[in-house]
Amino acid sequence: METAERRELWVEEPVGRRRLPDPVRTAAVRAVLITALTLIQAMVAFFCTVTASWLAFPMVLTSVGSTVVATWSVLDVWVTRQVWNQRHGVVSTPSSTARRLRRERRRAQRAARAEARAAARSEARGTAREAARGTTRGSARISGRQGAGDSRLSRA
């Protein structure tokens, strides 16, 4: 009666985003709790004010202070995240368009450098060949000229 293939009750799916680092997650949980308590305190202060209770004034003062603390805790999450990213070198992933353009630019620069190197090599080879040819021809010309000059001098 049992089928050969059983379906799993719990199927894990890959997560789209990575888990937050522990210090950042701790700061975020702390900020959420503080913000929730501040909102509850602000509601209590509002209702106490509406009912003209003696507790209204202390609740308003403490809710103002709690708002400052909640703002500070949210900023703490942001600062903790930035510090974590700087210390642990999170690799940024630019958009595919930027990555493609940067890749094309690098290829063009490499090709230009390779052409420049090839041109420099061929130019260096050409000047070396000319220099090698020029020394043999130049020495023949010089000795020929000297010989011609010698003959001229001897004639005079």
* pLDDT for position 156: 54
In the prediction, which pLDDT does 92 show?
Answer: 61
Specify the pLDDT at position 51: 94
Q: 3-state SS string over the chain?
A: CCCCCCCCCCCCCCCCCCCCCHHHHHHHHHHHHHHHHHHHHHHHHHHHHHCCCCCHHHHHHHHHHHHHHHHHHHHHHHHHHHHHHHHHCCCCCCCHHHHHHHHHHHHHHHHHHHHHHHHHHHHHHHHHHHHHHHHHHHHHHHHHHHHHHHHHHHHC
Instruction: Compute the mean pLDDT over every residue in the chain, rounded to the nearest whole number.
Output: 81
Average pLDDT (13-28) is: 84
123-145 average pLDDT score: 64
List, for residues 36-94, the tens digit of each pLDDT value.
999 999 999 999 999 999 999 999 999 999 999 999 999 999 999 999 888 877 566 66
